[in-house]
Amino acid sequence: MGKKIAIFLSAGIGDAVLMIPLLKKIKSNGHKIHIILDTIFINKEFLEFNNYIYDELTDLHQIKVGNFICNNFQRFDQAFLDYSSSSVKNVFLSTFISKRVIAMRKKHIFFPNVTYRNEKYETHAAVLNIQLFDKEYKGSDFDISQLKLTLKNDFKPDIIRNIETDGKIPVVIQASSANMKAPYKNWPVENWISLINKISLDFPHLFFILMGDENEISIGKQIENGLKGSFINLIGKTELTEMCNILYFSKLYVGLDSGLMHLAVAYGIPTFSIFGASSYHFVGYEKFDSKKHKVIYNPIKCWPCHGFSKTNKTRVKNPNNCPDLECLIDIKPEKVINEFKGYYSKIQI
């Protein structure tokens, strides 16, 4: 008889995508999955729209946590918490609802039924998540296809149809990341304007769709005012599932280390991404398919200072406190456009 497994999702789209291989592994072993949402960035509609794998779901923002604990006391055989979910609050909650808890972080506080796992250096986050369930799982067994998602309603949106009717290729651009709360991920706006204009000159058949959240609208307006090629600015103008639908039928993602980057990979879309303080070893995809996925980064002495516990703290302990963001500022548009030309010649669209 299968076990009852609780899975916490406490961050954004990217973390939800990185949990997919773990969910597939659990289901392949005949267990039932109960998703516990503790985030404002994704919802049940998003999960259902993407055919996300689970049997039951609880949104902690929609209920009283005390009642949830009482109704589910020791109900689950195991609870798994990835790096983003492994807060003291969630670990504490898990000890009430699950007989055994496995969390991906350094030990916060001692609980008799909690096992803490640290990451292995240069191991991808998706692999680390699988190892929450199967600690013997080898990274060499991981394939990028394990991240695959498909849409529940597989209809091509009008915007994509119109772009293709005009003989253009739809390309999603995300020029901001982490809801504008992580400057160490965000390349300067003027660089984006320069890059997109240069790409437009060399590849006039590309049509750019600017996408992002409502709190990134100001970035979109700045970029929009400086662009000359074929584009539409949809930043802050789409619901989450609309954004998914447009991305799913686009042919290329150009952007940052962000949720949309991970989602594009899950949809099988080629990605060209600029990384700042984050390590591509943990959350990048070039090492799995260098023809389809490209990461641009600047490995200065203090890089990477953002990621899991084994990060470079020689300069700052918190990447938000970096005084100059050298890892991003030193990535010039001229370098990126040259990298893009070489990359674009290899991918098949």
Domain match, 165 and 220 both: yes
Based on the fold, state whether residues 294 and 181 are members of the same structural domain: yes
pLDDT, average across residues 40-65: 95
Dist CA 337 CA 75 (whole Å): 54
Do 265 and 294 belong to one domain?
yes
Burial of 183 from C-beta contacts in 10 A (0-12 / 13-18 / 19+): middle
SS (H, E, C) the chain: CCCEEEEEECCCHHHHHHCHHHHHHHHHCCCEEEEEECCCCCCHHHHHHCCCCCCEEEECCCCCHHHHHHHCCCCECEEEECCCCCCHHHHHHHHHHECCEEECCCCCCCCCCEEECCCCCCCCHHHHHHHHHCCCCCHHHCCHHHHCCCCCCCCCCHHHHHHHHCCCEEEEECCCCHHHCCHHHCCCHHHHHHHHHHHHHHCCCEEEEECCCHHHHHHHHHHHHHCCCCEEECCCCCCHHHHHHHHHCCCEEEEECCHHHHHHHHCCCCEEEECCCECHHHHCCCCCCCCCEEEECCCCCCCCCECCCCCCCCCCCCHHHCCCCHHHHCCCHHHHHHHHHHHHCCCCC
Does the residue 144 lie in any domain? Answer: no
Place 346 in a pLDDT band, splitting at 50, 70 and 90: confident
What share of the chain in percent tops pLDDT 70?
A: 96
| Same domain for 317 and 178 | yes
Are 268 and 338 found together in one domain? Answer: yes
Give the pLDDT confidence score for residue 71 in this predicted structure.
Answer: 94
Tell whether 328 is covered by a domain: yes
Q: What is the pLDDT of residue 313?
A: 78
- Distance, in Å, from the CA atom of 150 to the CA atom of 146, rounded to the nearest integer, reads 12
Residue 151 maps to a domain: no
Give how many domains the chain has, as a whole number: 2
Span 246-289, pLDDT tens digits: 999 999 999 999 999 999 999 999 999 999 878 888 889 999 99
Among 137, 168, 187, the domain boundary falls at 137
Mean pLDDT for all residues in the chain = 90
**Does the pLDDT of residue 201 top 80, yes or no?**
yes
Tens-place pLDDT, residues 103-148: 987 666 778 889 888 767 778 999 999 999 998 998 889 999 999 9
Instruction: Tell me the CATH number at 246.
Output: 3.40.50.2000
What angle (nearest 5°) sits at the alpha carbon of residue 319, between those of residues 195 and 214? 55
Tens of pLDDT, residue by residue over 68-108, are 999 999 999 999 999 889 888 999 999 999 999 999 876 66
Same domain, 170 and 297: yes
Do the domain assignments include residue 153? no
pLDDT at 74: 95
Helix axes 189-202, 333-344, angle to 10 degrees: 40
Domain co-membership, 16 together with 109:
yes
Please tell me the predicted confidence (pLDDT) of residue 182. Answer: 78
> Which range has the top average pLDDT, 53-57, 219-223, 286-290?
53-57
Whether residue 145 is contained in a domain is answered as no
Q: For residues 32-48, give the mean pLDDT.
A: 95
pLDDT band at 177 (very low <50, low <70, confident <90, very high): confident
69 and 127 part of one domain:
yes
* Residue, of 129 and 302, whose pLDDT is higher: 129
pLDDT at 295 over 90: yes
Least confident stretch, 155-164, 220-229, 295-304, 309-318: 309-318
Question: Which residues lie closer than 8 Å to 143 by C-beta, 6 or more apart?
Answer: 288
Whether 112 and 182 share a structural domain: no
Residue 183 included in any domain? yes
Domain match, 133 and 169 both:
no
Domain identity same for 133 and 162: no
Residue 14 lies in a domain: yes
Distance of alpha carbon 155 from alpha carbon 168, whole angstroms: 19
Q: Is the pLDDT assigned to residue 186 strictly greater than 90? A: no
- Average pLDDT over every residue of 281-304: 88
In a domain, 147, yes or no: no
pLDDT at 175: 87
The answer on pLDDT for 203 being more than 70 is yes
State which residues form the domain around 257. 158-344
Q: Which of 89, 83, 134, 127 is nearest to 307 (CA)?
A: 83
Q: Are residues 241 and 299 in the same domain?
A: yes
The token duo for 343 is: 């990359």
